[in-house]
Each structure stands twice: as C-alpha cells, then as structure tokens.
C-alpha cells in the first residue's frame, strides 16, 4: 500500500491547492475525492429522467492521480472543467448526501489508492480522515475561518458566497466535517500563506515518517 496522506476540510479551506502542491513536491499521486462526487452530480444532471439506481449502474468515470492534470472523465469524455461549473457546485451536495452514492465513492477511492502503484498518495475530501482512510499514515484537517474561506472563493471567482454558504450548510448534514477525529492533526490556514500551508502539511508528513 502507498503512504496515504488524508486531508479533509471544508470548501475554501485551501485543501485542493495545498494537497496538489504537496503531492507534486513529494512526487506522490493526488486524489481529489470531491471530483468523484462532482462527476456523479454531472452524470445525474445530464440524465435527469434516470432513477438513482440506474445512474449508479451506468456511472463510468476515471480520475487521474497525476497532480498536474487531475483529469476527470465521465463515459470517456473529459469533464475536468465541466465539473467546476456553478450548476454542478450548486447541486453536488444534494447527490453527495445519498448513502448509495457515498458508499460507491468510498469504495472507489480505496481501490484507486490501493491499485495505483505509487509510493504515496495525497487524498483530499471531507470524510477521509474519519471514514474512508481511518488508517492513513497521515491524517490532517485543514480549516480556515468562514471569512477567509469566502474571500478565497471570491478571489478564485469559482463560487458565489450564497452557494458556498448553502453548500456548507448542506454538507454539514452528512458527516461532522469540521470536528477532527482522534489522532487527526488540525491545521488552521486562516493566517497562513499558501506556501506556509504547504510547508505545514509537509512537516506533518515528515514527522510521521521520522
Ligand atoms: O471538495 P469539493 O468542493 O470539490 O467537493 C464537492 C462536494 O462533494 C462537496 O460539496 C461535498 C462532497 N464531498 C463529500 O461529501 N465527501 C468527500 N470526501 C468529498 C466531497
């Protein structure tokens, strides 16, 4: 098994950009588990008349573990940009709350990591430290104040304030994303620069290997 670095955090905590940078720096793979939920949401949006069970059966997707590409395919089609639209962002939580969708995503994340053949994988999401990779070599919860998270999202121009707040409220009904489980290192990035956040995560990985 590769060394699994499991990083959880809410939208706007910096977990995606930090996780990607850490993976690149260490030559590890990068698994964005949110992309799997977004890919499913896109599949459901594109097939509005198909029942959930059928959608789950016909859901064929791939996520590249290359941190520089982080490419996502649905039915063989590159949807890497499409899964970042406002429409997907506004509907993803609705699908991510469904237990069958979560079970599928959990299984897929575990098998992608187990079969990747790499030395390490930095995986990021919401419930990796608490559910999916509870035995990961490194478990981190990245947080940031709501104010900072909103500022970051508006600077990225990727998501409206209203949507981010609604998604936070909806997401928090699934699992307790914000409370660190035992043994999880809490890193608050509110007052850290991007580089400092990357260094803080790498320091934690090095501590675990020492
Ligand atoms: O990290 P993100 O914003 O791309 O995640 C998209 C959605 O997927 C998010 O609103 C909640 C859900 N998600 C989840 O429920 N569990 C995960 N491990 C990752 C994402």
The domains located in the chain, with CATH, are 3-209 (3.40.50.300)
For ligand 1, whether the C-beta of 171 sits within 6 Å is: yes
Atom of ligand 1 at shortest range from CA of 11: 3
- Sorted by sequence, the CB contacts under 8 Å of residue 65 that are 6+ apart come out as 29, 30, 31, 112, 116, 118, 121
The three-state secondary structure class of 117 is: coil
Residue labelled with tokens 């977990």? 15
Cβ neighbors of 192 (< 8 A, separation 6 or more) are 200
pLDDT in tens, the chain (210 residues): 899 999 999 888 889 999 999 999 999 999 999 999 999 999 999 999 999 999 999 999 999 999 999 999 999 999 999 999 999 999 999 999 999 999 999 999 999 999 999 999 999 999 999 999 999 999 999 999 989 988 887 777 777 788 888 887 887 776 556 567 889 999 999 999 999 999 999 999 999 988
**DSSP-assigned letters across all residues of 152-186:** HHHHHTSS-HHHHHHHHHHHTTTS--SSPPTTPEE
User: 49 is written with which tokens?
Assistant: 């008349």
The Cα 74–Cα 9 span in angstroms is 25
Rounded to the nearest angstrom, the distance between the alpha carbon of 8 and the centre of ligand 1 is 10
Kindly report the backbone phi and psi dihedral angles of residue 92, in degrees, each rounded to the nearest multiple of 5, phi listed first: -60, -40
Tell whether ligand 1 has an atom less than 6 A from the beta carbon of residue 125.
yes
Query: Collapsing DSSP states into helix, strand and coil, what is residue 65?
Result: coil
pTM as predicted: 0.93
């Amino acid at each position: 098994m590769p060394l699994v670095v499991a990083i959880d955090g809410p939208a706007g905590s910096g977990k995606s950009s930090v996780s990607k940078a850490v993976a690149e720096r260490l030559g590890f793979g990068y698994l964005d588990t949110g992309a799997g939920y977004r890919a499913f949401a896109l599949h459901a949006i594109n097939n509005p008349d198909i029942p959930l069970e059928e959608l789950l059966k016909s859901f064929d997707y791939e996520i590249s573990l290359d941190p520089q590409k982080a490419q996502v395919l649905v039915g063989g089609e590159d949807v890497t940009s499409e899964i970042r639209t406002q429409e997907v962002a506004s509907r993803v939580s609705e699908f991510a709350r469904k237990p069958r969708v979560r079970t599928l995503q959990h299984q897929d994340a575990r098998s992608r990591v187990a079969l990747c053949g790499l030395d390490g994988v930095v995986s990021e999401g919401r419930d990796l430290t608490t559910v999916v990779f509870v035995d990961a070599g490194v478990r981190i919860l990245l947080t940031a104040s709501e104010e900072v998270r909103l500022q970051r999202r508006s600077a990225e121009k990727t998501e409206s304030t209203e949507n981010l707040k609604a998604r936070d409220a909806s997401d928090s009904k699934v699992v307790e994303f914000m409370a660190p489980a035992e043994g999880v290192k809490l890193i608050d990035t509110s007052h850290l620069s991007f580089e400092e956040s990357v260094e803080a995560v790498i320091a934690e990985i090095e501590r675990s290997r020492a």
